[in-house]
Amino acid sequence: MAETAGVRGGVVSSSAPFDQWVVGDERAISASAKRGFALFNGKANCAVCHTGWRMSDDGFHDIGISDSDRGRAAVSPGIVQLEYAFKTPTLRNINQRAPYMHDGSLATLVAVIDHYDHGFEHRPSLDTQIHPLGLTADEKPDLLAFLDTLTSVDAPAVVPVLPQ
């Protein structure tokens, strides 16, 4: 079986159910997760920024979090698109990394989905790809089911004991 790696907090993660599905194991993810993958790439607009094997474009975007932290504008002032812009994180092992967003303001992935669906702050620096999604009550659990397939079962990381 092909092995695809992702990044989890600087540690490499192993093959997740999504990776097994991508290489042909139709039973690796549920029908709900498959519908969620279609939403991720279509109506939910996630794949615009969460792209590639790491599920990140490594770009900086203002996604409308209500916060006083100016993001990249603190180091690159005067560029409207960098106001409140933060780096797109990988989605690998995403369901193990709560709370979410740069400031930890969203406790669950359900709250994250709701934020992107309709909860963002409108301002001049808001990324042009952020807009109300109009997800239905049936679509949100499908999207969450897909996100769950991005988590692998990994051995605990061993932190070496460094000489004093």
CATH of the domain at 92: 1.10.760.10
Is 53 inside any structural domain?
A: yes
Residue 14 tokens read as 């192993």
Residue 17 tokens read as 């159910």
Tell me what pLDDT residue 12 has.
Answer: 64
What range does the domain containing 120 cover? 6-148
Is 124 inside any structural domain?
A: yes
Is 161 inside any structural domain?
A: no
CB 63 within 8 A of CB 116: yes
Is 46 inside any structural domain?
A: yes
Q: What is the pTM of this model?
A: 0.86
What average pLDDT score do residues 86-108 get?
95
Is 1 inside any structural domain?
A: no
Q: How many domains does the chain have?
A: 1
Q: Give me the count of residues in the chain.
A: 164
Tell me what pLDDT residue 146 has.
Answer: 98
Is 107 inside any structural domain?
A: yes
Is 163 inside any structural domain?
A: no
Residue 62 tokens read as 């203002």
Q: 155 falls in which pLDDT band (50, 70, 90)?
A: confident
Is residue 26 scored above 50 in pLDDT? yes
Is 92 inside any structural domain?
A: yes
In whole numbers, what is the pLDDT of the chain averaged over residues?
91
CB 6 within 8 A of CB 152: yes
